[in-house]
């Protein structure tokens, strides 16, 4: 995970009551693992239920850099 002290773009805060699953990059193990944690954090009866953490995970999935995305964004 890269250390970043500044945000490149405004943080989009989502309504915790309407949390949507983030879209992980296909075939990316890191995104897959993050999504698994996100699902656990959004499971209301789960031991890891934590919507604030889920939001963080969703942001992390969105920001996870991939070679093919870099080409498009830069
Ligand atoms: Zn990824």
23 CA distance to ligand 1 centroid (A)?
Answer: 10
Cβ distance 61 to 26 under 8 Å?
no
Residue 39 placed within a domain = yes
DSSP structure class, residue 15: P
Contact indicator for 31, 25 with CB cutoff of 8 Å: yes
Predicted confidence (pLDDT) per residue in 7-40, tens digit: 777 776 666 555 678 889 989 999 999 999 999 9
Does residue 69 carry a pLDDT above 70? no
Task: Kindly tell me if the per-residue pLDDT of 6 is higher than 90.
Answer: no
**What is the extent of the structural domain holding 49?**
24-65
Global pTM value: 0.65
Q: Considering the domain boundaries, does residue 38 fall inside one?
A: yes
In a domain, 15, yes or no: no
Q: How far is CA 55 from CA 38, 43, 73, 74, in A?
A: 8, 13, 23, 25
Q: How many other CB atoms sit within 10 Å of the CB of residue 22? A: 19
Residue 41 domain-assigned? Answer: yes
For residue 4, tell me if it sits in a domain.
Answer: no
The confidence score (pLDDT) of residue 13 equals: 64
Neighbours of ion ligand 1 (CB under 5 A): 25, 28, 30-31, 64
Count of structural domains within the chain: 1
Is residue 13 situated within a structural domain?
Answer: no
């Amino acid at each position: 995970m890269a250390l970043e002290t500044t945000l490149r773009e405004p943080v989009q805060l989502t309504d915790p009551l309407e949390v949507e699953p983030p879209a992980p990059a296909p075939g990316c193990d890191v995104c897959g693992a993050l999504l698994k944690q996100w699902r656990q954090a959004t499971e209301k009866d789960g031991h890891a239920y934590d919507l604030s953490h889920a939001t963080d995970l969703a942001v992390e999935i969105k920001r996870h850099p991939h070679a093919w995305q870099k080409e498009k964004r830069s």
